[in-house]
Amino acid sequence: MAKPINLAVLISGGGSTLQNLIDKISEGTLLAHIKIVISSSPDAYGLKRAKQRGIPATIVQKSGYDTSQTFSDAIVQEIEKYQIDLVILAGFLHLFKIPDSYVGKVMNIHPALIPAFCGKGYYGSRVHKAVIGSGVKISGCTVHFVDNEYDTGPIIIQRVVPVLDEDSPETLAQRVFTAETVAYPEAIRLFAEGRLQIVGRRVNTLKAEPT
Ligand code: GAR
């Protein structure tokens, strides 16, 4: 039987992505343990979600550090208190500068089709407002490995949803989030099965081993 992988989850706010992972783990459709939740805000509702489930949680606030580097180093220190296989950014709104040894071991989900509508300042409803304002007919979500910039790392999975004429940022966000609830667990499963191979900017998905 496959061994669960250990996750560290970084949040800044509501923790809807964290909740999705908690739900998938309890349903048994994602074989993982969330070992630690790290929040950049003491007020993040995601901290309550972690507490309700008895998941250890800690706060590392950006305001306590002069640079993205020292802030990220403090996060790494927290992660390294546990044996973590994969770090999950789940609505984490800061640049996380990763050590070289973390390359290919940190994922993010973005609520649009990268390389469109992404980068610094594109988060939450701002993304969906920009998508609707631009007139594009499709949007979606992107799971990617994290490098040391905003939303530029190699893409693992994208799922597409339509943008409807009558959409508000809220209705579009809901449709995209439904796609996210499938895409993120799927990317984590592929990682756990050792099926993600980074080749330059591409992530190739290897075929499943016959059982
Ligand atoms: C998710 O929809 C995720 O795609 C988005 O934040 C939401 C989770 O936030 N992430 C970004 O916009 C990152 N650029 P929550 O934890 O506050 O509910």
- The domain spans of the chain are 1-97, 109-211
Q: Which CATH class is domain 109-211?
A: alpha beta
CA of 1 to the centre of ligand 1 (A): 32
> Would the pLDDT of 2 be above 90?
no
Q: Which residues pair with 89 in a beta bridge?
A: 10, 108
| C-alpha distances in Å from residue 25, one per residue of 47, 130, 172, 184 | 18, 33, 26, 12
What mean pLDDT is reported for the chain?
Answer: 96
Q: Decide whether any atom of ligand 1 lies within 6 Å of the 140 Cβ.
A: no
Is 128 an active-site residue? no
Answer yes or no: are the C-beta atoms of 172 and 128 closer than 8 Å: yes
**CATH fourth-level superfamily of 1-97:** Formyl transferase, N-terminal domain (3.40.50.170)
pTM, two decimal places: 0.96
Q: Is the CB of 21 under 6 A from ligand 1?
A: no
Nearest residue to 13 via CA among 86, 121, 94: 94
Where would I find the H helices in the chain? 16-27, 45-52, 68-79, 125-134, 169-192
Query: How does DSSP classify residue 196?
Result: E
Instruction: Label residue 1 by pLDDT band (50, 70, 90).
Output: low
Quick check: do 1-97 and 109-211 share a fold? Answer: yes
Residue nearest to atom 14 of ligand 1 (CA): 123
pLDDT digits (tens, 9 = 90+) for 102-159: 999 999 999 999 999 999 989 999 999 999 999 999 999 999 999 999 999 999 999 9
C-beta 45 within 6 A of ligand 1: no
